[in-house]
């Protein structure tokens, strides 16, 4: 989230976060809201925009890496997606911070 905030051309007066964890960003006040997308219209709108953008991105990278079936699973770790990771390894688009295939370590 900090990287996204770094790219803003307008400095926010307050940051609303969907969830319960956020590391302070500079000196900007923030509020965390558990299940915020169901409680605040601005968080809900941001969630819809983020999901729409991610779905389009997943369709594009599915063309580059078809064996992960991203056009269908949108990056969620389905059984088939995990099997593709085991068979093909990870792509530059996989998040290394996630446990992608259970106990199997792909990053050693």
- The size of the chain, in residues, is 108
Q: Which residues contact 106 (CB under 8 A, 6 or more apart)?
A: 85, 89, 90, 100
Answer yes or no: is 20 within a domain: yes
Tell me how many domains the chain contains. Answer: 1
Give 31-89 pLDDT, tens digit per residue: 999 999 999 999 999 999 999 998 899 899 999 999 988 888 877 778 888 888 889 98
Structural domain that includes position 13: 2-64
- Give me the residue label for tokens 């809900």: 44
Count of helices and strands (H, E) across the chain: 4, 2
What CA–CA distance (Å, rounded) separates 39 from 20?
14
Answer yes or no: is 91 within a domain: no
Strands 30-33, 15-18: pairing is parallel
What CA–CA distance (Å, rounded) separates 13 from 27?
10
Please report which confidence band the pLDDT of residue 98 belongs to, taking 50, 70 and 90 as the band edges: low
Answer yes or no: is 75 within a domain: no
- Give me the residue label for tokens 């998040």: 95
Answer yes or no: is 53 within a domain: yes
């Amino acid at each position: 989230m900090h990287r996204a905030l770094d790219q803003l051309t307008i400095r926010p007066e307050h940051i609303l976060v969907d969830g319960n964890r956020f590391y302070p960003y500079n000196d900007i006040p923030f509020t965390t809201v558990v299940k915020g997308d169901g409680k605040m219209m601005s968080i809900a709108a941001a969630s819809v925009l983020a999901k729409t953008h991610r779905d389009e991105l997943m369709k594009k990278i599915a063309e580059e890496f078809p064996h992960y079936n991203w056009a269908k699973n949108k990056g969620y770790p389905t059984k088939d997606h995990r099997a593709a990771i085991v068979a093909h390894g990870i792509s530059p688009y996989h998040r290394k911070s996630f446990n992608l295939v259970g106990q199997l370590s792909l990053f050693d």
